[in-house]
Structure 1
């Protein structure tokens, strides 16, 4: 369930909203997107929440029952909660959900905006609840939002905002891991990745203003479920350049470029992210900078940025991971083992285990309280350098070693997997193939994810060569590995690839 949760959270952080200047005049008076509310909407997108709230208060004085006002208040609150992770604010603001839904429910159902905005309020709270660990309540909100949107689509089939929001849910439903698919079927939730993509592309073709939002969602889908194209990578650079005062777009570009192993490009985008008193504090950007510096092997500076994140962040996610990474910064640098282990000991005392990163940090801290094996240093250096796209440095770290240099099965499997990944990223798929195949052999009958990930990458390599039968076999092989830590995400990617191949 963790992958599904984080996938939902990440989606909300990059949504750009639902209502447009070009459509504002079409809304009834009960859903009036006045010039002031339009300005507030764009301020929320830029994460300038204080100014947005001032505009909302001015609007409230003139039209307190405006449904658009209710929606935008909720929109601003959700961004604040997701970025700040403020537990006290969550406890207070969550009481507003029912009141806001009741206000919208009393407005005319003859408007397509009524069900749309009720669905959006529920989706916003679903993402927030998932972020704060309330999974069951969040799932019910998603189900109710889906039903509202389906009803809206039937009543107003030409209303494009419904199609966009419903398309998003179709993608999410299509991304549910196999072991949860029966629940969706039982509840009447239907959708697929291909269906959702088609709907998002239809919005891009038909609705100029909604084009950017649909593009952002589609980019995210390709980053986490499918594969990015060169044109989409270019979009990740262009979006923040086109709006230099938009903090959200800079975060989006940075995080997805890092996900794609383009950390040097991400660092350029991050360096231009706007900051200051006008913007919502965003300590996570310091965490992202620390991640890139760790990948670059600049351990002392990375350590300092992790400390800055810990100092300013009042939430609960990525704290365990940040202390684990500080341990790595000291351990991979020139500190003594005792100096490094001080930071590893902190992992078990802080934060939560909601994210995969924090879960991994917790497991590592529990397993290696006295310190990891010395030979793992080279694997960590290669791993982070490769993740960031610093391929020469990653290969150099592994060059003096062979599989025989490592005694533990997990280290031998990781060694072969890292070599395969580096070679694949360097454009040498033939050389990568033998390392991936060796990894699969080593991982048979284990819970190590390297085998499943190797099979997935071999599927991509074969698909690129138009060896579709072999690609299908490898994608199915990837899904056959059981109980590894990235099963949901790897299975989703393999299933999406099979769908693209018509299987």
Structure 2
């Protein structure tokens, strides 16, 4: 549950940069979810012979279902009597901790940090006194990871790093001593995959923490957990599908699974969120908005302010600027964390500018980008970079980008027809124009035209342009060559994507390219 929960906070871009331990937290839990085709070495190994599992108790199972729905008060109410009667039982302690961890990570409410982390530590103390078992040891390792990730999220780096390392090694021990206890393989598999996918620049940190993960081993473990019955099988299946969708560019499984889950459980807010997220990443803005509007609401659910920010993006893609502005204002009003605030204000600026609001309103939103606050996630970094660069955006290219992001590729190409570069056109815009055409043609499946304009992007940018268009163009060409079975050409373009200097999305672009290169071996 730890990993699926943290996925809520980071799946649409929690690509935390410049703070290595926070990178570990984001990758371990939300997975950044990007990529190419799965490596051949990641085929599922022979499943261990099934043995009797230690299931959750009936009450804990019902409470766990409520946590998955993000109805935390209901979950806690169910657990109250069981925890009072058996205060050292691992099942209710684990599910209770899941509820606290979900609240802390989704809300990012600093006022709740002390109480919730103290509760996590108290549960670890209780488990230390419980009889040894697979479920006891798994719960202890999982809660230790919860605690470490909570500490890292609120930048208690030393304590968080310690608990992260400890929880990771504990989970390794659970798999070693209880090889048929598949929930442990779920958590260890995701940890191995996520940390193994980290850029080489953080390998010193992994060695320092004593982490030696493997992407291939992680996928094998996760596949085992997804294939065998347990109380956590559905979570394992969902995580596996999301990895394939975003890291490995295989969306069909995630689209089918999230459609089925939302149909079966329309009252489940987490499933509605994930369906919306998958559709947004696949550039299906209308489908994502439909999922947003059909989501369950009400006081029984944990507030998820980030949903408003996602919806604001989707409405911006459609050109519904007033509605986009309302959603981002709702996000800023409800959010108790700090991430995505600069991005939200940047999108408010775009909505005001493209929507023709008065100059004073446009200028006010632009100035708010520079308000105090972190720029740890790449979206916030991009917004701050735009402000610092102090160069006007091109309205034609901006509209086309937004349209293409929403999957409105024909509209994007129509918008781009009015772009006419002149001698005074910025170099950045000269690079972006062919890139926007390439992405629109790619979205329409016209791959020859897409390839032509990706090449034009690389030619215009040269090897050192400090913008993301050229490295992203090279990355997309690598994927296209890989899909066509041309490994040498794919390798050439993945390496080219890695060779570019700093740009706003270098961390995530490099991670995608390196994972893709592994699949070519």
Distance 1:501 1:458, change over 3 A: same
Aligned residues: 484
Pick the aligned partner of 1:414 from 427, 432, 435.
432
Partner of 1:58: 81
Q: Does 1:494 align with 2:513?
A: yes
Q: Does 1:170 align with 2:170?
A: no
Aligned to 1:219: 241
- Partner deviation per Cα, 1:323-364 (whole Å, 9 max, x = no partner): 211111110111233321111222222543232222222232
- Partner in structure 2 of residue 20 of structure 1: none
Structure 1 position 46 matched with structure 2 position 65: no
Query: Please, which of 263, 272, 286 is the counterpart of residue 241 of structure 1?
Result: 263
Alignment of 1:51-200 (within 5 A): 51-109=74-132, 111-185=133-207, 187-200=209-222
User: Does the CA contact (< 8 Å) of 1:24 and 1:34 recur in 2?
Assistant: no
Return closer, same or farther for 1:152/1:96 CA change in 2, 3 Å cut-off. same
Query: 1:372-422: CA deviations, max 9, x gaps?
Result: 42x611121111111111112221221112454762211211112111111
**1:7 aligned to 2:57?**
no
State the SS of the aligned residue for 1:227.
Answer: coil
- CA distance in 2 between counterparts of 1:405 and 1:366 reads 24
DSSP 3-state at the match of 1:314: coil
RMSD: 2.4
User: For structure 1, which segment, 226-235 or 54-63, has the greater mean C-alpha deviation from structure 2 after superposition?
Assistant: 226-235
Q: Which residue does 1:275 correspond to in 2?
A: 297
Output the CA distance in 2 between the equivalents of 1:352 and 1:182. Answer: 24
Instruction: Give the distance between the partners of 2:202 and 2:143, measured in 1 at CA.
Output: 25
Give how far 1:423 is off.
0.9
1:427 partnered with 2:445: yes
Look up the SS of the partner of 2:95 in the other structure: helix
Over 3 Å counting, the alpha-carbon distance change for 1:36 and 1:24 in structure 2 is farther
- Residue range with higher mean Cα deviation, 443-452 or 300-309: 443-452
Q: Which residue of 2 aligns with 1:460?
A: 479
Q: Deviations over 1:197-245 (max 9, x none)?
A: 2222222222365432122212332344221243432223222222111
SS in 2 for 1:463: helix
Query: Kindly tell me: are residues 456 and 136 of structure 1, through their superposed partners in 2, closer, same or farther at Cα, counting changes over 3 Å?
Result: farther
Matching residue of 2:498: 479
Question: Do the aligned residues in 2 keep the contact of 1:133 with 1:354 (CA within 8 Å)?
Answer: no
- The Cα of 1:276 is off from its aligned counterpart by 0.7
Indicate the SS of the match to 1:95.
helix
What is the TM-score with the length of structure 1 in the denominator?
0.90
Return the offset for 1:366.
3.3
* 1:319/1:350 contact within 8 Å kept: no
Partners of 1:165 and 1:435 lie apart in 2 by 42
Matches of residues 16-35 of structure 1 in structure 2 within 5 Å? 26-27=53-54, 33-35=56-58
Give the unaligned 5+ runs of structure 2.
Answer: 1-14, 18-22, 34-49
- Normalised TM-score (structure 2): 0.87
Closer/same/farther in 2, CA of residues 406 and 453 from structure 1, 3 Å limit? farther
C-alpha change, 1:241 and 1:139, in structure 2 (3 Å) is farther
Q: How far apart are 1:298 and its partner, in Å?
A: 0.6
C-alpha contact (below 8 Å) 1:81/1:89 kept by paired residues: yes
Q: CA deviation digits over 1:110-129, x for unaligned, max 9?
A: x1122211111122223333
What is the match of residue 354 of structure 2?
332
In structure 2, the CA distance between the partners of 1:208 and 1:98, relative to structure 1 (3 Å rule), is closer
Task: Report if aligned partners of 2:171, 2:184 keep a CA contact under 8 Å in 1.
Answer: yes
Show structure 1 runs of 5+ residues with no match: 14-22
Aligned to 1:16: none
For residues 126 and 106 of structure 1, the distance between their equivalents in structure 2, rounded to whole angstroms, comes to 21
